[in-house]
Structure 1
Amino acid sequence: MKTLVIYTHPNHKSLSYAFLQKVIQGSSENANITEIKVLDLYEEKFDPILVFNENKRRRDMHADPQFEKYREQIKWADKIVFVYPIWWGRPPAMLMGYIDQMFASNFAYRDKGGMLPEGLLKGKSAVCISTMKGPTFYLLFWLNNAHKLLMKKALLQYVGIKRVKFFEFGYMESPKGRHEEKLNKIYRYFKSLSN
């Protein structure tokens, strides 16, 4: 299994970065994971800003040479792992800018004229690992599960990725946040992952 980890946090001393390290550690100890690549969007200085004009059309985004290496990473991966904080009830703007540009029509999906498109990333699976300051039930009850709906239904299932696993960790800025327990949960998950 080839695994692409997309890490989105500007600070390498953050808890998100500690979760990234547990993903890498667990994956490197798992014989089912043959290769792992990490895309650190901030370190990469990925430009999240969409540009459409007379020279750069939205309908051509799937073939934009600026993003060829990122498209190749997505095509290469069997499993895509997203590691990010929840800010204002959703992933960071940097990750959303990556999604806007990478999950383009005629690369990630194809319009068929009906209500739903044909997902072109079928057969892949995804894991979303997110951290937040408040309790996890805040997203569920106050925001009507908007984060999961966005990532699972509006994005991943739309492009054909049906198997999606979520780890949402709350109270991450609290000394009572059980950080080690949660970090070890991610390590164990990736160490024992079979598909």
Structure 2
Amino acid sequence: MKHLIIYAHPNAASLNQLFKQTIEETLRRQKYEVVVRDLYQLNFDPVLSLEDMDGQRSGRVSEAIRREQEHIVWADAVTFIYPIWWTGMPAIMKGYIDRVFSYGFAYRYDNGIQKGLLAGKAAFIINSHGKSKIEYQEIGMDNALKLTSDKGIYTYCGFDVKRHFFFDRADRATAETIEVWKTEIVDAYAMW
């Protein structure tokens, strides 16, 4: 099994980094092939340019984007790890999606009907955020995030979303809570 991890957090000591390490170790123990694309380490350019847009319309992408697309094609499953900032993903992750999930690669329209071209690939989403789950539920943010990312991006492009984790109050998590979260993650990947 081939598993791609797309990771976006600038702090090497972050909770998200711990999640990435936990997932990578879990997958390797299960004898999966694992590739990690750390967008900050790669200094990935998130800016969708006019040249990108013109190229997408004609099926041309830059070599850097083609390389990222090749990683996605290679993978049976993709894990996206990023914090929720300002009720959304970090700009570098959004830019990755804007540029890499291009028309003709991730989706297309057949006779006006949208078709996800990444069908057959599993997706896992790992998010941390500062608010509590109760606060997110009360304002509907949990459902809004699932709608905009799970449905609006990943499912739209054909991914089969297996799990979407929201780890709340991440900036105040205790060591015990973090261990519980790690166990939840390990269990989700073991069951897949």
What is the TM-score of this pair, normalised by structure 2? Answer: 0.90
Which of the two has greater helix per residue?
A: 2
Partner of 1:110: 108
Post-superposition Cα deviations, 1:15-61, rounded to whole Å, max 9, x if no partner, equal 10011110011111114x2x010000000000001110599544146
**C-alpha separation in 2, matches of 1:53 and 1:27:** 37
| Structure 2 CA distance for aligned equivalents of residues 7 and 71 of structure 1 | 15
The root-mean-square deviation of aligned C-alpha atoms, in Å, is 2.1
Q: Mind listing any 5+ residue stretches in structure 2 that lack a counterpart? A: none
CA contact (8 A) 2:55 2:61 kept: no
Aligned equivalent of 2:180? 181
Tell me what 2:91 maps to. 93
CA contact (8 A) 2:56 2:104 kept: no
1:189 to 1:117, Cα distance in 2 relative to 1, 3 A: same
Identity %, equivalent residues: 33
Higher RCO structure (Cα 8 Å, ≥6 apart): 1
Question: How far 1:146 moved relative to its partner?
Answer: 1.6
Residue 45 of structure 1 corresponds to: 43
Preserved contact between residue 52 and residue 99 of structure 2 (Cα < 8 Å)? no
Q: Which amino acid aligns with 2:17?
A: Y
Structure 1 residue runs without a partner (length 5+): none
- Which position in structure 2 is the counterpart of 1:7? 7
In the alignment, is the contact (CA less than 8 A) between 1:30 and 1:193 conserved in 2?
A: no
Amino acid at match of 2:181: K
Residue identity matched to 1:68: R
Cα pair 1:122 1:159 within 8 Å, conserved? yes
Higher deviation after alignment, 161-170 or 35-44: 161-170
CA gap of 1:179–1:108, structure 2 versus 1, over 3 A, is: same
With over 3 angstroms needed to count, the CA separation of the structure-2 counterparts of 1:53 and 1:188, relative to structure 1, is closer
